């Protein structure tokens, strides 16, 4: 496993651009990522569902049903769960863990600088790609091209 020193810090944009309950989708270093804000923390998720490869970041950010006694229904964890658009598997955005399977989302560490700039930490060269507009009618996450900064540490 690479040490933190071999990670590249890739500038995404302003942390304020990532809103609770929404996804900011970016293309960076050849990867499609979704940026989420969960409880004040930022999560960078690879846009690939570990079930059958759906663009999971196009799913819905919501809550989920909580354990409860028979005959009752409890809803909770609002804005902490990402539901895949293909088969509805639910993933905890704090850990990437699927709620009903052992598989989990691939995630990348993030950092927010004092000036409010949001970075994703990734291995390898950073090759930003231009934003790709949505081509279907479903609500799409906002996209923009991430900038890069040669900040190898
Ligand atoms: S591809 Fe995501 S739940 Fe099936």
Domains, in order of start, for the chain: 7-121 (2.102.10.10)
pTM value > 0.95: no
- When the pLDDT of each residue in the chain is averaged and rounded to a whole number, the result is 85
Residue 52 CA, closest ligand 1 atom number: 1
> Which CA distances in Å does 110 have to 48, 87, 140?
18, 28, 23
Task: Tell me, using a 6 A CB cutoff, whether residue 87 lines ligand 1.
Answer: yes
Nearest residue CA, atom 1 of ligand 1? 52
Instruction: Tell how far the Cα of 91 is from the centroid of ligand 1, in angstroms.
Output: 10
Ligand 1 centroid to 73 CA: how many Å? 25
Ordered alpha helix ranges (H), 25-76: none
Report CA(40)–ligand 1 centroid distance (Å).
27
Banded pLDDT at 144 (limits 50, 70, 90)? low
% of the chain exceeding 90 in pLDDT = 72
Whether pLDDT at 132 is above 60:
no
Q: Give me the pLDDT at residue 142, please.
A: 53
Mean pLDDT for 56-68 is 97
Q: What is the rounded distance in angstroms from the CA atom of residue 132 to the CA atom of residue 122? A: 21
DSSP secondary structure string for all residues of 98-130: BSSSS-B--EE-EEE-TTSEEEEEESS------
- The token pair that represents 17 in the structure block: 């651009």
| Cβ of residue 48 lying under 6 Å from some atom of ligand 1 | no
By most ligand atoms within 8 Å of CB, the mutation choice from 89, 91, 101, 106 for ligand 1 is 89
CA–CA separation, 21 and 120 (whole Å): 19
Q: From its phi and psi, is residue 50 left (phi > 0), alpha (psi between -120 and 50) or beta?
A: alpha
- Residue 149, pLDDT > 70, answer no
State whether the beta carbon of 19 lies less than 6 angstroms from ligand 1: no
């Amino acid at each position: 496993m690479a040490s933190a020193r071999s990670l590249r810090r890739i500038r995404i944009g302003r942390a304020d651009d990532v809103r609770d309950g929404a996804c900011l989708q970016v293309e960076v270093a050849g990867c499609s990522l979704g940026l989420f804000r969960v409880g004040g923390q930022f999560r960078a998720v690879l846009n690939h569902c570990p079930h059958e490869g759906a663009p999971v970041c196009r799913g819905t950010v919501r809550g989920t049903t909580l354990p409860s006694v028979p005959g009752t229904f409890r809803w909770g964890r609002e804005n902490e769960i990402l539901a895949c658009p293909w088969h509805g598997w639910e993933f905890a955005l704090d850990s990437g863990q699927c709620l009903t399977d052992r598989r989990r989302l691939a995630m990348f560490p993030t950092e927010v600088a004092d000036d409010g700039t949001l970075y994703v930490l990734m291995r390898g060269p950073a090759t930003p790609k231009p934003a790709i507009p949505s081509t279907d009618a479903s609500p799409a996450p906002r996209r923009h091209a991430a900038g890069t900064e040669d900040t190898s540490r």
